[in-house]
Amino acid sequence: MGNAPSTAISKCLSSAVGARSELLAYKETPLYELQHVKPYNLDIKVTPAAVTYPETADQVAAIVKCAADNNFKVQPRCGGHSYGNYGIGGTNDAIVIDLKNLQQFSINNSTWQATIGGGTLLRDVTKRLHENGNRAMAHGTCPQVGIGGHATIGGLGPTSRMWGSALDHVEEVQVVLANASIVRASEKENSDVFFAVKGAGASYGIVTEFKVRTEAEPGESVLYSYSIQAGNSAAKASAFKQWQKLISDPLLSRKFASQFILTELGVIISGSFFGSLSEYNSLNISSQLPQKDESVVVIKDWLGVVSHWAEDVALEIAGGIQSNFYAKSLAYTKDDLLSDHAVDTLFDYIDKTNKGTPVWFVIWDLEGGATNDVAPDATAYGHRDALFYHQAYAVNLLGGVTDTIRNFLNGLNKLVTDALPGKNLGAYAGYVDPMLGDMGPQMYWGSNLDRLQIIKRDVDPHDVFHNPQGVKPAAQ
């Protein structure tokens, strides 16, 4: 890759990776932006000082030491799907540590605990667990996302109501800290670091290895999709009211996952049920929804179920494709259900407002269940009381994100927060929103933020692992 600048940091980085040029890229490297930087959100311009590709935890530690000694910030990248491009630093001139070479995998056939390299993509997590005992763990639906970011920020997916989030599966990590030490962290060892890594990991270190509990794959799953025949905003609002009533039933089976998806094309209610068709039919889901085109498919092959998720309508719009986009999220608890009037107002707004693009969607995604069982202060993850989230997302295929697009999404979120006065609705850190600015950390981590800032002061006082909305060290 040549063309390395002759500077103290470049010499240090070269030494850190054993003078192997293929494990390093700089601004001077040909096709640097295209092949190495690869920003996910094209609307946010970020150029790191260097991108590194270590093959071992020792090399990761050596790179961190180089950065810290030369006053550079560091961020790890796994799948590279940060909405704010925080995996490439979020600001210019960071050192990126791309973990793609950390692919170790093993499984203990007695405890069914799996060891997973920090650079593994979710599609490979699924495949390797399946091939080694028909095991599984909770995670999201986008196969190109990396476990490194996913399981250190939350990791919500269709099985989370049964099994918890991805980070709830994590029992131990190997992590490189800001002082370049390589430590193990668990509930018994370096417990403060373990707490922080499980929800705010990018601010504390680089996880090179996860040890996770696994579950037996479901033997049979029902995948359902209901395309709602709803034309005007009133009909769409009525469909949402019925869905909200369905998912807010405290007795709803934890085997049931659901999304309400609104796009330019209409309404789809889709999801999975992890059980037999007869069990699914006994829930009478269909009778609780408006008139619709119904599709119910039974799949007994777990890899088939997971691959079906990747064909989801929202992923086909967003997925792993780089684009100019803007996204916002909100977390709703069981006490934050929208009134009929608020729903009518919201859907009327969506119907009449100029969105600035035909490529947009709003997803209300059912959570709750096992994710709510964990105490709010047990991990850094900030929304243990969330029943469902919404994510609003818009893409400009013709250039940068416009004020019209931003105003549409900001107005949508404001309508919800205005309808729930006095509520402190949070945001999901996995859908990072740079426009939240200094309010971001409070919305991401809520009541855990004070403790996180103290831990940050203790393990990374100089904010080596920096991103624009990361946890900052508490004052000395």
> What whole-number distance in Å separates Cα of residue 24 and Cα of residue 326?
31
Looking at the chain, the number of H-run helices and the number of E-run strands are: 15, 18
pLDDT score recorded for residue 476: 77
**What are the tens digits of pLDDT across the range 395-454?**
998 899 999 999 999 999 999 999 998 888 999 999 999 999 999 999 999 999 999 999
Record: fold of 105-217+445-459:
3.30.465
Classify residue 36 by its DSSP letter. I
Mean pLDDT along residues 68-82: 95
Residue partners of 52: CB distance under 8 A and separation at least 6? 13, 16, 17, 23, 24, 25, 63, 95, 96, 97, 98
Class of 8-98 in CATH: alpha beta
> Could you tell me the CA-to-CA distances from 217 to 111, 115, 138, 252 in Å, in that order?
15, 18, 11, 21
* 278: pLDDT strictly greater than 70: yes
* 18: pLDDT strictly greater than 80: yes
Instruction: Indicate the pLDDT class of residue 1, thresholds 50, 70 and 90.
Output: very low
**What are the tens digits of pLDDT across the range 300-310?**
888 888 887 76
* 320: pLDDT strictly greater than 90: no
* 96: pLDDT strictly greater than 70: yes
Q: What are the residue ranges spanned by the domains of the chain? A: 8-98, 105-217+445-459, 221-434
What pTM was estimated for this model as a whole? 0.94
pLDDT score recorded for residue 319: 57
pLDDT score recorded for residue 413: 96
Instruction: Indicate the pLDDT class of residue 184, thresholds 50, 70 and 90.
Output: very high
Instruction: List the single range of 3-17, 30-44, 167-181 with lowest mean pLDDT.
Output: 3-17
* Domain 221-434 grouped into CATH 3.40.462.20: yes
Mean pLDDT along residues 364-387: 96
Asked if 380 and 198 count as a contact pair (C-beta separation under 8 A), the reply is: yes
